[in-house]
Amino acid sequence: MNKVFSVSELNNTVKYYLKNLEPDGVWVKGEILGFKADKRYASFLLCEKEEGTNNIVGQTQVMCWGSDFWDMERKLRVVDRTLSLKDGVCVQLKCQFDLWAKAGRFQLIAKDIEPSITLGELHLLRAKIYNELKELGLHDKNKEQRISLCPLRIALVASRGSAGFNDFISEIKSSKYPFVIDFYHAAVQGEKVEEEVLSAIAKIVKRKRDYDVVAIVRGGGAVTDLKWFDNKKIGIAISECPIPVFTGIGHEINLSVTDMVANMNFKTPTAVASFLIQSVSHYEESLSELIDGVYTEAEAFLSQVETKLYETIKDINSEGKFYIESSKRDISEIVGNLTVDLSHFLRSRREELEHLEEKVAIFDPINTLRFGYSITRDSNGKIVKKIEDVDIADKISISLQNGDICGEVVNKEAKHGR
């Protein structure tokens, strides 16, 4: 009669044969999924995906014990100080076959890593996607979008409450300009990046007339975190966006595909916001210089007219009565010409000034009331900026687009982070 194994005997026997099948280990390549780690060990799935999709065609459990795990982390950081084992990272590991006897589960024990493969895979994927976009003529299409001279209307794509979001908003609020920001939430790391960024861009495109620029931002991170933005679908969406796209993905050295196809890319969210503030500031300075120039030209023109009239009068007095009638005709002609010229000049400058006044009106805080904002004043007519400016039972007035509302403070509630 053949030997009958208990379950534990069978599993331990299989484990023994597996361990001795390739005692020196084998190299296995795949993408990390479900990564977990503590001081004692790390565990994750090593999976293989169908090319060009997220469909998993094969996966296996991997365990990596303490000292081996930290050795592999150190090797990665030698290649790039931001590299580490985490979800979405492609790795090539030297593993031993193993079976967890208690559960009868096959697994690999990771012993070593080839760090250059991880970095190389990232660069190869990035180059592949960018070249595909280039072949489609999309790699620089968004760069052709003209940037507004006064980019006050911003569509912000970021993760709600993230460091990148907070840095961008904080920098914008530090300026004196009436920026209008519409926020579109999207994950900036993980499997949901593609879906949520594409959804945000699609919503923005439907309101393309409402925006001067799209800003996609995230806080700093590891070079492997850029993988989520090395995405062909996101690259196509940005390329075909009818609004200039600025990126502040948050990495000092490497550029993702998203960065490369955007109209402009910046190292940080703060840098994106700073550029927008500087653009509006330069526009304001240009308007001021233009207005000053109009006044200067008008004064010079009037001075020339005055000089010509004075010289004409001197000539009349010196020529005597004999030339009075002739001089009168000359003066009449000169005055007529000057009047026409002056009238034309002033009318032209008046039209320019009216045009400038329309542009300058952009910076009038009152106009922000049209966008749903309001101005609150206390009983003395002073603008209320913080909740500390009023007390319970104080009388207040609220200015809206088409009138005022009077009321009384019945409650105050502080908003954290403001």
Choice between 243 and 340, residue whose per-residue pLDDT is larger: 243
Give percent of the chain with pLDDT exceeding 70: 88
- Does one domain contain both 246 and 187? yes
Q: Does an H or E element contain 287, and which? A: helix 269-319
Evaluate whether residue 418 is within a structural domain. Answer: no
- Does one domain contain both 272 and 143? yes
pLDDT at 63: 92
Contact yes or no for 241/214 (Cβ under 8 A): yes
- Does one domain contain both 373 and 356? no
Stretch 304-333: mean pLDDT, rounded?
Answer: 73
Total domains, the chain: 4
- Between strands 403-408 and 56-65, the pairing is unpaired
Structural tokens at position 170:
């904080």
Cα–Cα dist 62/106, whole Å = 9
pLDDT at 148: 92
Q: Which of 132-146, 166-180, 212-226, 316-330 is predicted with the least confidence, judged by mean pLDDT? A: 316-330
- Does one domain contain both 294 and 373? no
- Does one domain contain both 287 and 240? no
pLDDT at 223: 64
pLDDT at 317: 66
Coil, helix or strand at residue 103? coil
Evaluate whether residue 415 is within a structural domain. Answer: no
Average per-residue pLDDT in the chain?
A: 84
- Does one domain contain both 68 and 153? no
Domain span at residue 29? 7-113
Cα–Cα dist 201/226, whole Å = 19
Q: 86: domain CATH number?
A: 2.40.50.140
pLDDT band at 225 (very low <50, low <70, confident <90, very high): low
Cα–Cα dist 352/355, whole Å = 5
Evaluate whether residue 344 is within a structural domain. Answer: yes
Evaluate whether residue 417 is within a structural domain. Answer: no
Four-point Cα dihedral 134, 135, 137, 140, nearest 10: 0
Q: Does an H or E element contain 345, and which? A: helix 324-360
Stretch 175-192: mean pLDDT, rounded?
Answer: 91
Residue 154 has pLDDT above 70, yes or no: yes
- Does one domain contain both 148 and 224? yes
pLDDT at 273: 95
pLDDT band at 361 (very low <50, low <70, confident <90, very high): low
- Does one domain contain both 146 and 250? yes
Q: Is the pTM of this model over 0.85?
A: no
Cα–Cα dist 375/344, whole Å = 42
The CB density around residue 273, as the number of other CB atoms within 10 Å, is 28
- Does one domain contain both 138 and 103? no
Contact yes or no for 100/8 (Cβ under 8 A): no
pLDDT at 1: 56
pLDDT at 348: 80
Structural tokens at position 250:
């948050």
Evaluate whether residue 414 is within a structural domain. Answer: no
Residue 365, C-beta contacts closer than 8 angstroms, at least 6 positions apart: 178, 375
> Where among 278, 295, 310 does a domain terminate?
278
The CA angle 236-241-245, to the nearest 5 degrees, is 100
> Where among 278, 307, 340 does a domain terminate?
278
Evaluate whether residue 118 is within a structural domain. Answer: no
Structural tokens at position 237:
């969406």
The CB density around residue 164, as the number of other CB atoms within 10 Å, is 25
Q: 175: domain CATH number?
A: 3.40.50.280
Per-residue pLDDT of 91-123, as tens digits, reads 889 888 888 877 778 888 899 888 877 766 777
> In 3D, which of 254, 247, 198 has the Cα closest to residue 224?
254
Per-residue pLDDT of 392-406, as tens digits, reads 888 889 888 788 899
Coil, helix or strand at residue 253? coil
Per-residue pLDDT of 49-68, as tens digits, reads 887 677 889 888 999 998 89
Q: Does an H or E element contain 397, and which? A: strand 395-400
Evaluate whether residue 214 is within a structural domain. Answer: yes
pLDDT at 31: 87
pLDDT at 3: 76
Residue 367 has pLDDT above 80, yes or no: no
Residue 141 phi, psi dihedral angles, 5° rounding: -65, -40
Stretch 19-35: mean pLDDT, rounded?
Answer: 84
pLDDT band at 253 (very low <50, low <70, confident <90, very high): low
- Does one domain contain both 152 and 253? yes
- Does one domain contain both 370 and 358? no
Q: Which of 39-53, 69-83, 319-333 is predicted with the least confidence, judged by mean pLDDT? A: 319-333
Stretch 16-37: mean pLDDT, rounded?
Answer: 83
The CA angle 370-375-376, to the nearest 5 degrees, is 150
Cα–Cα dist 350/342, whole Å = 12
Evaluate whether residue 359 is within a structural domain. Answer: yes
Secondary structure (DSSP) of 25-78: -EEEEEEEEEEEE-SSEEEEEEEEE-TTS--EEEEEEEEEEHHHHHHHHHHHHH
- Does one domain contain both 273 and 132? yes
Structural tokens at position 142:
């968004």
Stretch 199-209: mean pLDDT, rounded?
Answer: 95
> Where among 80, 113, 146 does a domain terminate?
113
